[in-house]
Amino acid sequence: MTTTASILGLERPLLTTAMGILPHRDPHAALDLAFSLDIPFWPQLPNLSFSEDTYVQTVRGIPGVEVDHEGLRILFDEDGFYAGLEEYLSLDPLDDLFAVTVEESATFGGFLERASADYPALRGQFMGPISLCLMVKDADNKPVIYRDDAREVAIRHVAAKVNRHLADLRAINPRSFVWVDEPGLEFLFTGITGYTSESARSDLALFLSLLEGPRGVHLCGNPDWDFLLQSEVDLISLDAYNNRDILVGYRSGIARLLERGGNIAWGAIPTHTHQLEAETPRGLADRLLDLWDRLGEEGLSREDVTAHSLLTPATCCLVNPDLTATVENAYAVVREVQEVLVARASG
């Protein structure tokens, strides 16, 4: 099998990055960690305040949507939605309403100060529209994913946020990219009635069609992988450490993604304390190479896979007893595993 050139167009394979959500309460320490990897990212710090939550930073500007900082909720008001809808729909897709501002993030100003074209790329992240619509609730505590009107606005809103952020990052570094976090995809078809797989497929297709740059999705969980792999996504960031055996069953879909120039950010390094303490960089590299060798059954060589791969921690982790120490150790191990894999590739 011959793969086409990577859609991301990065200068070399196996570059390191991470998903963006960090357990830190110190913005400077978070930025130090984000810039310790090849592709720095804008850190989001939900442990610092609800304003730093990815949902909150994504939803700003949608008419009728209000953030309840005391109740830690995001609410939808139907009257407010329709009162502001006409003006909202008249906005240019690159309007400043869709831009990230230094006022809404404790880390974004510091990120911009450090960001430059000297890095292989820069990366941003927002919450994906399906997960966002599962979180935002109306007066009856019902997710707006059931409302066709609000759901379509949310889809277009997240796309506008991604596109504006991508334009701002590429003004600094032309190789930048943005992905969306979609944890809701793991639960989409298990406990939700009234929102069908056909609707979800159509909504995801609409969202991806609106994106200007590489169409990237991150998820730490275990969704219906066929649902995602059969879409027009260009980049999937996933937990390869905990889902390795499951992913083997979807190797034909993964192979098709890579064959058409798509990319995978392999979350190969655990961020939970007990898991990380039980591993070594060489052992983690072996686990990932074993998965890649299984893709060989679909005609992909290790070289093919490597050329389309990024390397990341497996998950964002906010719950370790040591809060930040294990996560910081995991970032160091990411770089060590990278060294092992690069040496194996060159050998």
- In whole angstroms, give the CA distance from residue 85 to residue 64: 8
Q: How confident is the model at residue 189, as a pLDDT?
A: 63
Residues 159 and 277 in one domain: no
Residues 227 and 148 in one domain: no
Range of the domain at 257: 1-17+220-347
Closest CA to 62 of 1, 132, 124: 132
Residues 112 and 55 in one domain: yes
What pLDDT, in 10s, does the model give residues 239-297? 999 999 999 999 999 999 999 999 999 999 999 999 999 999 999 999 999 999 988 88
Residues 98 and 136 in one domain: yes
What pLDDT, in 10s, does the model give residues 35-91? 999 999 999 999 999 999 999 999 999 999 999 999 999 999 999 999 999 999 999
Q: How confident is the model at residue 2, as a pLDDT?
A: 62
Whether residue 193 is contained in a domain is answered as: no
Q: Note the Cα 204 to chain centre separation in Å.
A: 15
pTM of the entire predicted model: 0.96
Measured over the CA atoms of residue 124, residue 128, residue 131 and residue 134, the dihedral's sign is positive
Q: How confident is the model at residue 347, as a pLDDT?
A: 53
Amino acid identity for residue 200 in this structure: A
Residues 322 and 269 in one domain: yes
Residues 91 and 27 in one domain: yes
Whether residue 233 is contained in a domain is answered as: yes
Q: State which of 121, 146, 179 marks the end of a domain.
A: 179
How many structural domains comprise the chain? 2
Mean of the per-residue pLDDT values of the chain: 94
What's the average model confidence in pLDDT over 174-187?
93
β-bridge mates for residue 16, sequence order: 311
Residues 93 and 237 in one domain: no
